[in-house]
A = this chain, B = another copy of it.
Amino acid sequence: MKSSKIASDPRKREKYLAIIDAALEAFAEYGYHDCQVAKIARRAGIADGTIYLYFANKEDILISVFQEKMSRYLEEVRAKIAGCDDPWEQLAALVRFHLENSEQNPVLANFFQIQLRQSSPQIRSGISGPLRQYYRLIEEIITAGIARGRFDAAIDPKIAREMVFGSLDEIVSCWVIGGQKFSLAAQVPGFLRLLRGGLVTG
């Protein structure tokens, strides 16, 4: 892996991250397929060829942006969760952070919701790793909640995770595609209530 080697070299790390950030913005602005490598280079203030000292190819840039941002995101979510002991509180913190973070980083949200879904087999496999960690984190909270009797024992943790993540993803997607016209953070209580108690009365 070219990028991972470079990512860990402290001297190159800075320029590597500059390219990552330039790419994030450029992908968000033009869309992956309409974003030439030259545009990323210009935005990063470097020559086209320099990109290829840090990334194997254009796909590698996309994947690296995701991995870099996702791993940072995972760290932050874990930090948020560490503050609570109760599984429900943890899940609520995760939901809150997911939506608030998207709202505060619309470019990143656009990237996650839109640009990333340019499924080529390569891209999908590069994405699956870090994403699975997020999946696992959610499932662990749910499993712990069941074990502690906080969550319904009849729940299938995988389906519950799909519901949590899928709902958050859809909420953010609608917000991004719709032009970010409402507050994401304001959706938190409504969604948590649904998640907690379900649809049906009584």
Q: Mark A11-30, 1 if CB is under 8 A from B, else 0.
A: 00000000000000000000
Q: Could you tell me if A201 and B124 are in contact, using CB atoms closer than 8 angstroms?
A: no
A155 nearest CB across to chain B (Å)? 6
Say which one of A1-9, A72-80, A100-108, A169-177 lies at the interface with B: A169-177
Interface assignment of A196: CB less than 8 Å from any CB of chain B: yes
Q: Could you tell me if A160 and B119 are in contact, using CB atoms closer than 8 angstroms?
A: no
Chain B residue contacts of A154, Cβ below 8 A: 193
Q: Could you tell me if A200 and B88 are in contact, using CB atoms closer than 8 angstroms?
A: yes
Q: Mark A160-189, 1 if CB is under 8 A from B, else 0.
A: 101101111111011001000000000100
User: Known pairs A162-B174, A167-B170, A195-B199. 17 more at Cβ < 8 A?
Assistant: A34-B120, A88-B200, A91-B199, A117-B119, A145-B199, A150-B200, A152-B193, A152-B197, A152-B200, A155-B193, A156-B187, A159-B194, A162-B171, A166-B166, A169-B170, A196-B200, A198-B199
In the docked arrangement, what's the CA distance between A31 and B193, Å? 39
Chain B residue contacts of A152, Cβ below 8 A: 193, 197, 199-201
Interface assignment of A83: CB less than 8 Å from any CB of chain B: no
Q: Could you tell me if B166 and A187 are in contact, using CB atoms closer than 8 angstroms?
A: no
Interface assignment of A143: CB less than 8 Å from any CB of chain B: no
Which residue on chain B has the smallest CB distance to residue A168? Answer: B166
Given A150-B201, A163-B167, A166-B170: A155 in contact with B119 (beta carbons within 8 A): no
